[in-house]
């Protein structure tokens, strides 16, 4: 199971250890002046960040990344999926996994494994049922999810979106791992599909994008050639489409 740990949590600790915590330290610099904090544009993410600090200080252990946990704590994940909040807060949080045998949480990084002490008096009655809403995604996949979501909402402000984006993440992951598409290639086809009068009404999920990818690629290249004499084409996008078309032709 994955857990969310607030980086440098000790900064927000009031400093005493001999009694139950009643408050946390939130500095003015946290809200104003910190370059990373100024990147948090959504007020929902701001509120969730503050609440996550309080929840982890109170629990004295990382927070389970489960939909039912967030809902129990009052997070409206239908209004804004937690995947988007975690993406926005990536500079302030770490994803850790549980090591049952050593009663620790392991932080997985590319170069090393760090150990975070776990609360010794943890709840013994924990739910062992596998949670289908557990989100496991890279920042790259989340950016592609956000790209398609924004394109659909731009075309239709009432577009039907999933309650959570696990199915989207799964399809995008398959496109990268199995179909060998690069994130740049996928983004180029998302952009094209959401700007094209025909495809924007048909490509409403990564599953449809994956199914029609080759056709989208060829159509986008045809359109570039057709309108090439009448409009300025972005050289980088044209180069990407040329490379993609060669892959399909081969």
Give the pLDDT of the chain (250 residues) as one tens digit per residue: 789 998 888 777 776 655 667 777 776 666 666 667 777 878 899 899 889 988 988 888 899 999 999 999 999 999 999 999 998 888 888 888 765 444 454 544 433 334 444 444 444 344 343 344 444 467 788 899 999 999 999 999 999 898 878 889 889 989 998 999 999 999 999 999 999 999 999 999 999 999 999 999 998 888 776 655 444 445 555 565 556 555 555 4
pLDDT at position 33: 60
pLDDT at position 243: 60
pLDDT at position 151: 94
Parallel, antiparallel, or unpaired for β 93-99 and 113-117? unpaired
pLDDT at position 94: 87
The residues spanned by each domain of the chain are: 2-117, 139-249
pLDDT at position 248: 52
pLDDT at position 250: 47
User: pTM of the full predicted structure?
Assistant: 0.43
Rounded to 10 degrees, the C-alpha dihedral 184/169/68/120 comes to -70
pLDDT at position 34: 65
Residues 226-242 as b/e (b if ≥16 CB within 10 A, e otherwise) read: eeeeeeeeeeeeeebbe
Residue in the block written with tokens 């999920």: 205
Q: At what angle do helices 183-195 and 235-249 cross, to 10 degrees?
A: 110
């Amino acid at each position: 199971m994955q857990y969310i740990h607030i980086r440098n949590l000790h900064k927000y600790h009031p400093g005493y250890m001999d009694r139950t915590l009643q408050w946390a330290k939130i500095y003015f610099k946290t809200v104003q002046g910190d370059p990373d904090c100024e990147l948090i544009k959504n007020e929902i993410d701001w509120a969730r960040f503050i609440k996550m600090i309080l929840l982890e200080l109170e629990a004295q252990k990382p927070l389970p990344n489960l939909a039912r946990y967030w809902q129990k704590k009052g997070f409206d994940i239908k209004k804004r999926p937690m995947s988007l909040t975690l993406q926005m807060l990536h500079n302030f949080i770490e994803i850790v996994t549980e090591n049952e045998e050593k009663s620790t949480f392991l932080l997985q990084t590319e170069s090393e494994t760090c150990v975070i002490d776990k609360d010794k008096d943890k709840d013994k009655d924990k739910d062992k049922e596998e949670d289908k809403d557990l989100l496991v995604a890279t920042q790259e996949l989340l950016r592609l999810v956000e790209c398609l979501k924004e394109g659909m909402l731009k075309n239709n402000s009432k577009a039907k979106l999933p309650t959570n984006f696990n199915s989207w993440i799964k399809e995008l992951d398959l496109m990268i791992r199995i179909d060998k598409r690069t994130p740049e290639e996928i983004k180029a086809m998302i952009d094209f599909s959401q700007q094209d009068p025909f495809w924007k009404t048909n490509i409403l999920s990564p599953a449809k994008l994956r199914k029609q990818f080759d056709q989208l690629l060829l159509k986008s290249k045809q359109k570039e050639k057709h309108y090439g004499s009448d409009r300025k084409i972005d050289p980088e996008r044209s180069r990407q489409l040329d490379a993609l078309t060669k892959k399909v032709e081969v």
